[in-house]
Amino acid sequence: MSQFGSQLHSSSSRKLSGSGKKRNKNKDKKRHEMGGYFSATKLGAENSYKKVRGRGGALKEKLKYAATVNLLTKSGYKKTNIKAVVESKDNRNFARLNVITKGSVIDTDLGKAVVTSRPGSGAVISARLIE
């Protein structure tokens, strides 16, 4: 099913059960079990989006490259530029590759911030300032 550009999320047919007996296959993999690949949102010169077809024909925008962030400060939200990715809790190589995920610490014009949104799902980056 990789020819469709998606991943299948279902239990393995090769995995053993708790008693050690091999599981019997009771159904085939279905198309509704398909999920998408990880969209690695990278730091770029400007915001760039990719449209992906969702279930039921709905279109979802995924953020491929990000340049700005909606930053929550004490006075409210401000739109600022992203300088670099400082650290990432998901993978230590993401900071080196400038991949932005939820929970990543980024360096902005106003200081360091933690990303609170999911840029691969919502096509926008929201963050809160670290004091």
Domains annotated for the chain, with CATH where assigned, are 1-37 (no CATH), 41-129 (3.10.290.70)
Cα–Cα nearest to 92, from 103, 83, 78: 103
Q: What is the DSSP string of the chain?
A: -GGGT-EE-S--SS-B-TTSPBPPP-SPPPGGGEEPPP--EEE-SS-EEEEEE-GGG-EEEEEEEE-EEEEEETTEEEEEEEEEEEE-SS-HHHHHHTEE-TT-EEEETTEEEEE-S-HHHHS--EEEE--
- Per-residue pLDDT tens, the chain, 131 aa: give them: 344 556 776 666 666 667 777 777 777 777 777 777 888 999 999 999 999 888 888 898 999 999 999 999 999 999 999 999 999 999 999 999 999 999 999 999 999 999 999 998 888 999 999 97
